[in-house]
Amino acid sequence: MGLSRRKFTREFKEAAVRRLELGATVAEVSRRCEVNANVLHRWRREMRADAGQAFAGAGRRNHQQESDVVELERKVGRQAIEIDFLRRCLQRVEEQRKLQALSIHSSSTPSSSKK
């Protein structure tokens, strides 16, 4: 059976890199955090490259994804309003059909005025 991949929080990764920046050796931090030294090197590279975007992972959305979600929510809202409008229109049409059917039915019955 394969081992499951461990997932580390952004805070954990930042703390490990901070220890390295404060002068701890990679071996010390690796042992203490129970993480491979190569992983620590990669985390440090990512932090140096772009600290704001480092460790974005699957949990964070980028700006484009957020704007896409907002646009889709807007569309869903518009469509919900359209559906409500069309339902009300359909109800009115059905009510008018029923009224017409009643008026046609009542006028088509023979009157009992002849005797």
Identify the burial level of 26 via C-beta atoms within 10 angstroms of its C-beta, where 0-12 means exposed, 13-18 middle and 19 or more buried.
Answer: middle
Each residue's pLDDT tens digit, 23-72: 999 999 999 999 999 999 999 998 888 877 777 765 555 677 788 888 99
> Is the domain of 69 the same as that of 54?
no
Q: Which of 13-22, 52-61, 78-87 has the lowest mean pLDDT?
A: 52-61
Q: How far apart are CA 46 and CA 20, in angstroms?
A: 13
The total number of structural domains in the chain stands at 2
> Is the domain of 56 the same as that of 11?
yes
> Is the domain of 53 the same as that of 14?
yes
Neighbouring residues of 58: CB distance < 8 A, sequence distance ≥ 6? none
**Cβ(27)–Cβ(57) below 8 Å:** no
Total-model pTM? 0.46
Q: How far apart are CA 114 and CA 100, in angstroms?
A: 27
For 52, the domain range is: 7-60
> Is the domain of 13 the same as that of 24?
yes
CATH value at residue 16 = 1.10.10
Q: Which of these, 107, 103, 11, lies nearest to 57 by C-alpha position?
A: 11
The band of 111, judged by pLDDT with boundaries at 50, 70 and 90, is: low
The reported pLDDT for the residue numbered 66 is: 80
> Is the domain of 89 the same as that of 101?
yes
Is 78 domain-assigned?
Answer: yes
